Amino acid sequence: MTAHEGTGRSAGADGEGPGAAAARLTGWAVAGERALSGSLAEVTVDGGRVVVVKRGDGPGATRAEAAGLRWLADAGAVRIPAVHGQDDSWLVTDRVPQGRAGREAAVRFGRGLAALHAAGAPAFGAPPPDGPTDAYIGRAPMRNVPGADWPRWYAEHRVLPYLRRAVDQGTVRPGEAPVVERLCERLPELAGPAEPPARLHGDLWNGNVLWADDGHVWLIDPAAHGGHRETDLAMLHLFGCPHLDGVLDGYQEVAPLADGWTERVGVHQLFPLLVHAVLFGRGYAEQALTVARTALSR
């Protein structure tokens, strides 16, 4: 949930820039750098290789992202940029040379996403190995607290914390909060058949899905944790993904979704919508309230 394009120069609190950080963390000589946004830069190292250097948005952010990237990569199911260095302020990863979206790549990605989810997690809310409990989704804090029951865990650790913050900020009015609270109470009946914890990317909006020039889809910027597989798919629906029908076709080939999954999309979108309400304001709060009312009316 962060921008990946823009202008500006990134520097850490001590004034260190991305080139210096890359050299220190990797031991590679740096030949040049190009700012992409306030927190991202491309750095060219000797030999012409280009890496992406990212400054963390908060305490533990780079640790959480690096752990998530490695955990997703360990599944061997989807393309994930390699981590070349990380400390409390900086993360250095491979750059993904961008290409064009296509249906064949989308179907392949769908199959891979299904395999990634099937790699599993120890529990709902489980962080990646070596990942912190206090992580992030975009710039919003996100706690990875394990739970055994998805409806209860989703309500307590994904929906209600952001609803409370949105109310405290005035983004959701106090009289509007009960509709979301009622949905949380009814989650056991709205959640569909029980599923095992899936290995989630966790922030699977279109900006984190890169269509590469090698004909594959690569995933970046995870908020990885154990969760319900329909949550990743719901986020792809929410923010739009090229050739989404192809992604779903590939996914269903490998791991068919439970009956009624399309009616549960809104339930799974409630979490990212409330996160966006906290970060970006009232428009997302109104979407979240609409989703909750619709789910309750079924």
The predicted structure's pLDDT at residue 183: 98
Q: Is residue 234 within 8 Å of 202, Cβ to Cβ?
A: no
pLDDT less than 70: residues of the chain:
1-14
The predicted structure's pLDDT at residue 181: 98
| Residue 5 CB neighbours (<10 A) | 8
CA atoms of 56 and 59, how far apart (whole Å): 8
pLDDT in tens, 92-148: 999 999 999 999 999 999 999 999 999 999 999 999 999 999 999 999 999 999 999
pLDDT in tens, 195-206: 999 999 999 999
CA atoms of 224 and 200, how far apart (whole Å): 5
Q: Which structural domains are found in the chain, ordered by start? A: 18-94 (3.30.200.20), 103-297 (3.90.1200.10)
The predicted structure's pLDDT at residue 37: 80
The predicted structure's pLDDT at residue 7: 31
**Catalytic-residue membership of 203:** yes
The predicted structure's pLDDT at residue 57: 82
Helices 103-118 and 244-254: angle between axes, nearest 10 degrees? 40
Tokens 């076709």, residue located: 249
The predicted structure's pLDDT at residue 241: 94
Q: Which of 87, 88, 203, 245 is catalytic?
A: 203
Q: What pTM value is reported for the model?
A: 0.93
CA atoms of 244 and 234, how far apart (whole Å): 11
Helices 177-185 and 282-297: angle between axes, nearest 10 degrees? 40
